[in-house]
Amino acid sequence: MAFFFALSFALVVGHGNKLVRATFYNPPYNPSACFGNSKINGVMIAAAGSDLFKKSVCGKKFSVKCVGKSHACKTNKPIVVTFVDMCPGCGGSNIDLSREAFGSIAHRSAGVIDVEIHPL
């Protein structure tokens, strides 16, 4: 179990890509677990599942690319998001994208998509 956790940490925080599930959440985006009531700049943001959040992703930028079913994805080009919050309901290393970030890579009607994330 400890080996799996260490490997998972290396894949996300190191230089590798990681396949996770993404959902989306609606504004307001404040307060956030990372920045409290401070104003968050921009809307290309994300909330991290508990395992990912424990890896100190607050304020870090990640590339996010939709790799799920073709009818769910709008594009195969990645976007860049900044982690600003924790998503207790996401579980593990899954993520919750802002409504705007999700909508730029996938049809919101899909609700849940597979994405590849990579730290920048």
**Amino acid 15: pLDDT:** 54
Domain spans in the chain, listed from the N-terminal domain onward: 2-119
Say how many Å lie between the first and final Cα of the chain, rounded.
27
**This prediction's pTM:** 0.84
Instruction: Check pLDDT > 70 for residue 5.
Output: no
CATH classification (class only), 2-119: mainly beta
Q: At 6, is the pLDDT very low, low, confident or very high (cuts 50, 70, 90)?
A: very low
Average pLDDT, the chain: 86
**Amino acid 36: pLDDT:** 92
For 10-47, write each residue's pLDDT tens digit: 344 445 788 999 999 999 998 999 999 888 889 999 99
